[in-house]
Amino acid sequence: MPDQIAIVIVAAGRGERAGGPEPKQWQDLGGQSVLARSVGAFAGIGPVTVVLHPDEMLRGVEAFAGRVTLVAGGATRAASVRNALETLEGRGYTRVLIHDGARPLVSPALIGRVMAALDTAPGAAPALSVTDALWTGTEGHVTGTADRTGLYRAQTPQGFHFPAILQAHRGFAGVAADDVEVARAAGLDVAIVEGEEENIKITWPGDFARAARILGLDTMEIRTGQGYDVHAFTEGDHVMLCGVKVPHGRGLLGHSDADVGMHALTDAIYGALAEGDIGRHFPPSDPQWKGAPSEIFLAHAGALAREKGYRLMNADVTLVCERPKIGPHAIAMAAELARILGTGPDRISVKATTSERLGFTGREEGIAALAIATLVRE
């Protein structure tokens, strides 16, 4: 008689380490939930039982509508798996593959290796040998090294002869990291088959982007933002423009140092991030920003972009004024903006135009600045 294979997919955890608005197994990965992809990986191999948190059973019904059997999980991973195995008992299953719901990228080849190994062992599971050096550490400092010889990183699906793993779970009390641990506690031999680097377990926020890259989904995001600012002339002997002090018969009026060019660029970066404008992050009502160097604002916008995974591809700033003449200072201005943003001066442009003596800039009542910034996240 051919083997009857059941699949158990465990997704009863809350998956909170991955961040996001909901448990990781329900988050979208290229148009399907992580869990739907994990289920789909076993299509054609055997009927699938999905173990969910008791609070999420209804959601499971909506998501899988009769395509899988749903079982409520227990207090521990082992208890969850046991619940599923108990529902499968007495239906003629000879083998079972138990898989993490958060490993949506498992390949048919890997599943095939696990199933093949069950012909010669009561248990089989994929793993990768540890190639990195191993350390122990406390509070960010290395306190020792550990021998990596014979160490493996365990993956799933973990396959077992059905009656043997059911017996092992029935005899197991406690907490186990996976089913191999339960099987070993019962004395079962577990063969190691070659795992795959791509068979990642989605755990941390960055794992979604990594999974999307492995799937070949285009996750590159390109954003542009614009900024516009005006400051009026007042008494003074210099103006600050794009971080450069330019001697002039007048100054610019403003709460900070009135660096109109840097303000426009800062707003362009905030705009690309959909993060409002300078006023949102540095309220003019707050006296601590009075006379502040505008470098603080631009550096903040740049840091916020990096924090969100973006880098500045380029920025272009145009100053609109009759005087002072910008040309002699343009290269120094671009270099200063690049320094503050931690990028190369070849990515920053500063140029100027007059308005042909028309309008407020033409009448030399003030200086206007426009900026555009392009950010990319890969």
Contact residues: Mg ion, CB under 5 A: 229, 263
CA distance 177 to 156: 12
Could you tell me the smallest distance in angstroms from the CB atom of residue 254 to Mg ion?
A: 6
Nearest approach in angstroms of CB 261 to Mg ion is 10
Cα dist from 38 to 17, 35, 104, 108, 111, whole Å = 19, 5, 4, 12, 12
Contact 97, 114 (CB under 8 A): yes
**Strand ranges in the chain using DSSP code E only, listed in sequence order:** 5-11, 28-29, 32-33, 48-52, 69-72, 95-100, 123-129, 134-138, 141-146, 152-154, 158-161, 190-194, 221-235, 238-241, 244-247, 250-252, 311-320, 348-353, 366-377
Give dist(CA 263, CA 276) in Å, integer: 13
Helix, strand, or coil (residue 145): strand
Cα(first)–Cα(last) distance of the chain, in Å? Answer: 51
What does DSSP say about strands 250-252 and 221-235: parallel, antiparallel, or unpaired? antiparallel
SS3 195: coil
Residue 222 structure tokens: 């390109």
Q: How far is the CB of 369 from Mg ion (least distance, A)?
A: 8
By C-beta, is 207 or 229 nearer to Mg ion?
229
Q: How far is the CB of 298 from Mg ion (least distance, A)?
A: 12
Name the CA radius of gyration of the chain, rounded.
30
Name, in order, each residue with C-beta under 8 angstroms of 66's C-beta and a sequence gap of 6 or more: none
Nearer to Mg ion, 178 or 259 (CB): 259
**Nearest-approach distance from CB 297 to Mg ion, in angstroms:** 9
Residue whose CB is less far from Mg ion, 178 or 229: 229
From residue 90, alpha-carbon distances to 78, 85, 99, 166, 367 in Å are 20, 10, 21, 11, 83
Q: How far is the CB of 256 from Mg ion (least distance, A)?
A: 7
Check residue 93 and report its DSSP letter: -
Q: Shortest approach of Mg ion to residue 335 CB, angstroms? A: 22
- Under 8 Å between Cβ of 94 and 105: no
User: Which CB atom, from 248 or from 263, has the smaller least distance to Mg ion?
Assistant: 263
Q: CB-wise, 179 or 229, nearer to Mg ion?
A: 229
Report the amino acid identity of residue 60: G
Cβ proximity to Mg ion, 155 vs 294, nearer residue: 294
Min CB(360)–Mg ion separation in Å = 15
Q: Which residue is nearest to Mg ion (CB)?
A: 263
The minimum distance between CB 248 and Mg ion, in angstroms, equals 17
CB nearer Mg ion, residue 103 or residue 263: 263
Residue with Cβ nearer Mg ion (100 or 229): 229
What DSSP string runs through 296-330? HHHHHHHHHHHHTT-EEEEEEEEEE-SSS--GGGH
**In terms of CB distance, is 96 or 341 closer to Mg ion?**
341
